[in-house]
Structure 1
Amino acid sequence: MNTKHIYKIIALSVILSLVSCKEDDKKITLNDATPITVSVETVTSNSDNSALTVSGSIEATNNATLSTRLMGYVDRIYVDVGDVVTKGQLLLSINSSDLKAKSAQVTASITEANAAFQNAEKDYQRFKNLFEENSASQKELDDITARYNMAKARLEAAKQMKNEVDAQFAYTNIRAPFKGIVAAKYIEAGTLANPGMPLLSVESPDNFDVMVRVPEHVISKVKPNMDVRINVSSINARFNGKVKEVSASSTLSGGQYLVKITLKEPTKNIRSGMFASVEFPTIEGDIASASQSIFIPTKALVHKGQLTGLYTVSQQNTAILRWIRIGRSMGENTEVLSGLTAGETIITSSQGKLYNGAKLNIK
């Protein structure tokens, strides 16, 4: 063996030794990683005798979207979103120059019709007296009577046209229908308003309803005045509610029946548009079923894109990420439909960031 080959063998041995040292360092690093302190819970299955929970949104009991029957440019908007308004307060005005011109024309027509009516009335009274004195024929009285009635009708028509124009003026000045706050503004000053076009939205902040959709297989058991529990997760609050209305048809709601629920305990923190979950009481055999279900704390879930998972504890006391399929939510718990079985241990909270293979220190 020549010297050149000996040098190659020595160099290869050195490289293999360095690689082996690095692998040993990695193993030491992994083995020496600081355990993450976690809280765990053993999964159990329960008979699903729980209440039905459905999601919905909060709406103000008194709410109105204001519009106009006229076409015209918005002259001025007197309020901003969030302003408190009183009943009858002027909110928005629309240019009414053409309506004012029409009003002037109608006023002139009334003056003309009134003059014609007074003249016809005098002629009618005169001929009526002459007819009684046998100084006028029946035909002459009939003709004068017809003229008198026509003049009276024209005057009445002109007055009714005036009433119509005056009524249209109400649509140039948009006023608050009740005491509340301005919830939305859909138009700006100088913009052309069209008939039926939303201009402003006003709602009362004192009373709220929750609108939910209930499946058809349980709707027969939902009755007016039924007590329910309402959970508003965005403000971390729970309220008592009562079923106010139950829809009799699902034709326009995709097979779901609309149910309106009134909050018994309004709060200043509630705003219309917030999401809420409503828990109906248990109705055995209908809303509840006798099947075995698994519920876990919602806080244990991990969301990545469209996937939902959780961390379980392996036999080596390490964290394992498990992807699951979830179902309905009930308060602070969520139903697991697949991917988890009873008896497994899941991580409900941790004092550090979890990852696959992380060593655990269980409380």
Structure 2
Amino acid sequence: MKTISIYQLLSLSVILLIFGCNDQSNTPVVNTSDPIAVTVAKVASKGNQNSLIVSGTIQSANSATLSTRTMGYVDKIHINVGDNITKGQLLLSVNSNDLKAKKAQVNAAILEATAAFKNAKKDYERFKSLFDKNSASQKELDDMTARYDMAKARLQAAEEMKNEVDAQFAYTNIRAPFNGKVASKLVEVGTLANPGMPLLLVESPSSFEVVAKIPESVISDVKTGMKVDILVSSIEATFTGQIKEVSSSSALSGGQYLTTIEIIDSSNSIRSGMFASVQFPKITSTNSVIPTNIMVPKEALITRGQLTGIYTVSQQNTAVLRWLRVGNTIGDNVEILSGLKEGETYIMSSQEKLYNGATLTIQ
């Protein structure tokens, strides 16, 4: 009887344990985390469906990178970045001691060739006079003529060597090719300059242009002379532009066509290297595929490695992470190529760190 009672007690304990576990598993899980306060915005397309907006870079319409054809150390830089310069002004000097030694050798060769030429000329004139008087043979006159011609040729060769050395000196003294400003100084005093090595960048600040890339879907509608609007967000200014050049090939520009746009009414606030947004007029071709130009602020996007996403708001008022395919960056906004539709709600900012499924309180 005692053994049976123990078995009965054990069986009863197991049954109670099973029922206890079942009761606990059926208890609903309650999310006790507090809602996260967020601010939201709705997706809206910028511009109309027949317009095209691309990003570009501003550059001077007249610029030059100056270099040298000789090797030598930079002796002196006569200007600073931002200085106004005039055509022909000395900007930079490269050490030219080797050229000076070569010029001294050339000058000595010219003196020697000049003396030989003068002596040969006198002999030639004397023998020619004797030949005219029948006092010298034809052979003697021919020999003197050949000697005179060789002396003359040696003198000309020495003078040409001098011209070559003088031309090399022009590359040791770098001068301004036009009126403008010094945009960048690429070397310092003591730097060893090599042939073709960039030394200075100069540009004319009076005229600027925008270089942009146009997708092939609309390139047939972009014509030279077309007027466009140019927005420079860094200085909060809009300018009128005119298409100056349109590339006929995209082989070296990633499948897009380089287009140069002249800024007609530029101001002193424009600087080379600034980013600009170029808005083209309405595209009328039925074959053109115009981007929707859905734009969102950069601050609303998140990045994880090479992925770009944004948090949207679900019907249950929770955060949902949506991965996107992005396009050009125009000012403080980024073009969304896919992943968002017009009218959808996305989260601009939050008071706490967001995560997928987080409960939201929209402010």
For Structure 1 versus Structure 2, the TM-score category normalised by the shorter chain is: 0.7 to 0.9
Q: Which residue of 2 aligns with 1:10?
A: none
From the superposition, tell whether residues 303 and 234 of structure 1 become closer, same or farther in structure 2 (CA, over 3 Å): farther
Write the distance in 1 (CA, Å) between the matches of 2:312 and 2:322. Answer: 10
Matched, 1:62 2:62: yes
Equivalent pair of 2:298/2:334 in contact (CA under 8 Å): no
Equivalent pair of 1:282/1:288 in contact (CA under 8 Å): no
Write the distance in 2 (CA, Å) between the matches of 1:220 and 1:81. Answer: 41
Kindly state the Cα deviation for residue 334 of structure 1 after the two structures are TM-superposed. 5.8
Write the distance in 1 (CA, Å) between the matches of 2:296 and 2:341. Answer: 15
Write out aligned runs for 1:177-256 (5 A).
Answer: 177-256=177-256
From the superposition, tell whether residues 333 and 79 of structure 1 become closer, same or farther in structure 2 (CA, over 3 Å): closer
Kindly state the Cα deviation for residue 308 of structure 1 after the two structures are TM-superposed. 4.3
Q: Which residue of 1 aligns with 2:25?
A: none
Residue deviations 1:15-68 (CA, integer Å, cap 9, x gap):
xxxxxxxx99x96x948x8x76x5754x57899733222222111111111111
Unaligned runs of 5+ in 2: 1-28
Equivalent pair of 2:232/2:274 in contact (CA under 8 Å): yes
| Aligned residue identity for 2:294 | F
Q: Which residue of 1 aligns with 2:138?
A: 138
Q: Which residue of 2 aligns with 1:157?
A: 157
Equivalent pair of 1:45/1:342 in contact (CA under 8 Å): yes
Unaligned runs of 5+ in 1: 1-22
Write out aligned runs for 1:102-181 (5 A).
Answer: 102-181=102-181
Write the distance in 1 (CA, Å) between the matches of 2:194 and 2:343. Answer: 64
Equivalent pair of 1:88/1:175 in contact (CA under 8 Å): yes
Kindly state the Cα deviation for residue 170 of structure 1 after the two structures are TM-superposed. 0.8
Write the distance in 2 (CA, Å) between the matches of 1:93 and 1:51. Answer: 51
| Aligned residue identity for 1:358 | L
Write the distance in 2 (CA, Å) between the matches of 1:290 and 1:170. Answer: 53
Write the distance in 2 (CA, Å) between the matches of 1:313 and 1:129. Answer: 112
What is the Cα-based RMSD across aligned positions, in Å? 3.3
Write the distance in 1 (CA, Å) between the matches of 2:71 and 2:86. Answer: 26
Equivalent pair of 1:243/1:260 in contact (CA under 8 Å): yes
Write the distance in 1 (CA, Å) between the matches of 2:110 and 2:321. Answer: 84
- The secondary structure found in structure 2 opposite 1:54 is strand
Equivalent pair of 2:41/2:345 in contact (CA under 8 Å): yes
TM-score after normalising by structure 2? 0.78
From the superposition, tell whether residues 214 and 170 of structure 1 become closer, same or farther in structure 2 (CA, over 3 Å): same
Q: Which residue of 1 aligns with 2:322?
A: 323
Write the distance in 2 (CA, Å) between the matches of 1:115 and 1:231. Answer: 71
Equivalent pair of 2:216/2:256 in contact (CA under 8 Å): yes
Write the distance in 2 (CA, Å) between the matches of 1:141 and 1:193. Answer: 54
From the superposition, tell whether residues 80 and 55 of structure 1 become closer, same or farther in structure 2 (CA, over 3 Å): same
- The secondary structure found in structure 2 opposite 1:234 is coil
Kindly state the Cα deviation for residue 144 of structure 1 after the two structures are TM-superposed. 1.1
Kindly state the Cα deviation for residue 243 of structure 1 after the two structures are TM-superposed. 1.0
Write the distance in 2 (CA, Å) between the matches of 1:236 and 1:303. Answer: 26
Write the distance in 2 (CA, Å) between the matches of 1:230 and 1:46. Answer: 15
Write the distance in 1 (CA, Å) between the matches of 2:152 and 2:180. Answer: 47
Q: Which residue of 2 aligns with 1:49?
A: 49
Residue deviations 1:66-124 (CA, integer Å, cap 9, x gap):
11111111111122222322222221111111111111111111111111111111111
Equivalent pair of 1:309/1:321 in contact (CA under 8 Å): no
| Aligned residue identity for 1:360 | I
Matched, 1:83 2:80: no
Q: Which residue of 2 aligns with 1:359?
A: 361
How many positions carry a matched residue from both structures? 330
Write out aligned runs for 1:305-320 (5 A).
Answer: 305=304, 306-310=306-310, 312=312, 318=317, 320=319
